[in-house]
């Protein structure tokens, strides 16, 4: 059938494949272009058992994205120790999942992703005169055994544990095997220099060695069938570019990128992923007063995670109305718990991050001598407050007036209502047509040299907490939770407190 295809069709088919490859590369480049920093290389702490596929995958990744990948190779135990000491790097890739979980316990890695599986087999040196087909053949007198060191290698540790379970490890030790520092040395000792007659390696390594020397034999023994390494990669907590590191993991498992390379080199049960989505996007709703406190963190998170964040800052009454009308964000940061409660059924449990104090903000020197809420009822006073239906500040102001019994006296002096405290403060500064506004401490603090303020104290609703929560409908819930945590880190605390907020976050 192939012989009957015309040259023109073959040329066309080749062109389609070439265009497809180009589109794939451009796709990755477009995704990479969204990243803020591809000049900084990714560093991977890796084991020799993964050398060949990882070197090939790293080359393809660099060609596709233009970001360099540095691979540090060591046996699993040594790799873990160096990774812990270095306190740097982006990915940790040992030969078996047990080391990743140790790294997790040591708080060195965050996310863990399954990659593939390897199985232990025997390899027999080229030209070995006797047949090895059973366990007794393996332990026969005169055989020089080369084994991976169980103290530093994953395969050595797994093999020893399984043979101890079967009651066969003492027989192995009685043969005085040569313990070698990593799996590559076992392979070289058997397949290349003949220093060992037989050895135990993972099947992927055995197939790679056999490809170079077809006379080397691979033997599957029933005693080793349960010696399996489940390869997992951990995202380092030390990574300064976790978004790029995740993209490398996606590339390693990509059905058109790393997955075929892993299979080609003999790895089984590869956790194939479809082509990664384009730069993820999050929608964040936040009360307007929170903008100065969180904007810097949102910019940093976009850079760190290679994510696009659409911000919607507004009065919480307006934001809640939008949510009730069906427009849901991924994350909601409310100005007050009462507004979060109105939509709590649509969100995961909320956490209070900060609090803010309502204040009477007056002209410098406080010319009208306003010291308490009741003073705002003085005849002829011009008052500005938040809109009670559009923002948390307005609703809380009204509640404060009602609780203190001054509502009827003050409301007749209200000349301006607004959805944000910033608007009220600016009206006082620019137009001079207001004598006092009720707004937050964070609204006043940037202008403390031009305006004075009197705290409204002794009333719980006058010092509201600001809760944050992830929407149950979020298309990126894990990413949204990471952002939620990011907004509660130490740097955020300082930013909030510098702006006049109190802190309740973790």
Question: Which CATH number is 446's domain given?
Answer: 3.40.190.10
* Residues 360/370, Cβ–Cβ less than 8 Å: yes
- In the block, tokens 């809109």 appear at 387
Residue 319 lies in a domain: yes
Task: Based on the fold, state whether residues 348 and 294 are members of the same structural domain.
Answer: yes
Q: Are residues 454 and 490 in the same domain?
A: no
- Lowest-pLDDT choice from 29-33, 187-191, 243-247, 380-384: 29-33
Q: Assess whether pLDDT exceeds 90 at residue 392.
A: no
Q: For residue 282, what pLDDT band results from cuts at 50, 70 and 90?
A: very high
* CA Rg value for the chain: 33
Asked, for residue 219, whether it belongs to a domain, the answer is: yes
Tell me whether residue 56 is in a domain. Answer: yes
Instruction: Let me know if residue 308 belongs to a domain.
Output: yes
Residues 300 and 448 in one domain: no
For residue 155 the two structure tokens come to 């395969």
DSSP at 189: I
- Looking at the fold, whether 329 and 288 belong to one and the same domain comes out as yes
> Are 418 and 294 part of one and the same domain?
no
Residues 147 and 193 in one domain: yes
Cα separation, 108 vs 235, in Å, equals 8
**111 and 49 in one domain?**
yes
Please tell me whether residues 473 and 344 are part of one structural domain.
yes
Q: What pLDDT, in 10s, does the model give residues 151-199?
A: 988 899 999 999 999 999 999 999 999 999 888 899 999 998 889 999 9
Assess whether 91 and 180 both reside in one domain: no
pLDDT digits (tens, 9 = 90+) for 415-443: 999 888 888 998 888 888 899 999 889 88
In a domain, 275, yes or no: no
What was the pLDDT predicted at 21? 42
Residue range(s) defining the domain that contains residue 111: 36-117+229-264
Q: Which of 286, 289, 334 is nearest to 310 (CA)?
A: 286
pLDDT of the residue at 168: 93
Q: Which two tokens stand for residue 213?
A: 């020397």
User: Which residues pair with residue 116 across a beta bridge?
Assistant: 231
What DSSP element (H or E) covers 202? Answer: strand 198-202
Same domain (yes/no): 202, 138: yes
**Euclidean distance between CA atoms 395 and 27, whole angstroms:** 48
Q: Tell me, yes or no, whether 385 lies in a domain.
A: yes
Residue 15 pLDDT > 70: no
Beta bridge partners of 199: 123, 146
Is 8 within the bounds of a domain? no
Share of the chain above pLDDT 70, in %: 92
Whether 62 contacts 69, CB under 8 Å = yes
Is position 182 within any domain? yes
Number of domains in the chain: 4
**216 and 210 Cβ atoms separated by less than 8 Å:** yes
Residue among 149, 250, 247 nearest 200 (CA): 149
pLDDT at 10 over 60: no
Say if residue 175 is in the same domain as residue 315. no
Residues 6+ apart with CB under 8 A from 436: 360, 361, 362, 368, 370, 376, 381, 382, 383, 384
Please indicate, yes or no, whether residues 113 and 254 belong to a single structural domain of this protein. Answer: yes
Over residues 304-347, the pLDDT tens digits come to: 888 899 999 998 889 999 999 999 999 999 998 989 999 999 99
For the cut 50, the answer to whether the pLDDT of residue 26 exceeds it is no
């Amino acid at each position: 059938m192939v012989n009957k295809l015309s040259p023109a069709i073959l040329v066309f088919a080749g062109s389609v494949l070439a265009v497809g490859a180009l589109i794939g590369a451009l796709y990755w480049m477009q995704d990479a272009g969204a990243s803020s920093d591809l000049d900084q290389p990714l560093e991977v702490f890796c084991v020799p058992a993964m050398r060949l596929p990882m070197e090939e995958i790293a080359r393809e990744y660099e060609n596709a994205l233009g970001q360099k990948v540095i691979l540090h190779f060591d046996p699993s135990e040594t790799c873990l120790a160096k990774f812990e000491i270095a306190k740097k790097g982006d990915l940790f890739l040992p030969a078996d999942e047990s080391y990743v979980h140790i790294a997790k316990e040591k708080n060195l890695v965050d996310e863990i992703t399954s990659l593939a599986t390897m199985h232990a087999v025997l390899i027999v040196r080229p030209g070995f005169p006797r047949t090895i087909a059973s366990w007794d053949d393996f332990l026969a007198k005169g055989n020089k055994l080369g084994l991976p060191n169980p103290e530093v290698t994953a395969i050595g540790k797994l093999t020893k544990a399984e043979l101890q379970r079967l009651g066969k490890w003492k027989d192995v030790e009685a043969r005085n095997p040569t313990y070698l520092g990593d799996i590559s040395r076992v392979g070289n000792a058997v397949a290349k220099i003949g220093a060992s007659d037989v050895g135990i390696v993972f099947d992927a390594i055995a197939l790679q060695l056999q490809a170079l020397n077809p006379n080397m034999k691979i033997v599957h023994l029933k005693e080793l069938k349960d010696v399996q390494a489940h390869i997992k990669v951990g995202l380092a907590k030390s990574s300064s570019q976790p978004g790029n590191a995740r993209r490398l993991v996606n590339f390693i498992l990509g059905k058109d990128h790393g997955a075929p390379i892993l299979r080609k080199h003999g790895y089984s049960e590869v956790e194939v992923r479809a082509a990664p989505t384009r730069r993820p996007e999050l929608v964040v709703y936040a009360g307007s007063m929170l903008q100065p406190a969180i904007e810097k963190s949102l910019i940093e998170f976009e850079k760190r995670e290679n994510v696009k964040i659409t911000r919607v800052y507004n009065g919480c009454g307006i934001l809640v109305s939008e949510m009730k009308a069906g427009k849901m964000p991924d994350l909601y940061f409310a100005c007050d718990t009462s507004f979060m409660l109105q939509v709590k059924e649509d969100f995961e449990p909320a956490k209070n991050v900060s609090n803010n104090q309502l204040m009477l903000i007056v002209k410098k020197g406080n010319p009208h001598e306003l010291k308490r809420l009741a003073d705002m009822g003085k005849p002829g006073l011009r008052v500005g407050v938040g809109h009670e239906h559009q923002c948390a500040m307005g609703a809380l102001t009204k509640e404060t007036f009602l609780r203190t019994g001054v509502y009827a006296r003050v409301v007749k002096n209200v000349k301006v209502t607004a959805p944000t405290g910033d608007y009220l403060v600016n009206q006082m500064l620019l137009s001079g047509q207001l004598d006092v506004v009720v707004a937050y401490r964070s609204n006043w603090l940037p202008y403390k040299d031009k305006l004075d303020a009197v705290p409204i104290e002794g009333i719980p609703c006058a010092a509201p907490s600001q809760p944050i929560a992830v929407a149950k409908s979020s298309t990126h819930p894990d990413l949204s939770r990471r952002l939620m945590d990011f907004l509660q880190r130490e740097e955020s605390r300082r930013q909030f407190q510098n702006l006049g907020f109190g802190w309740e976050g973790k």
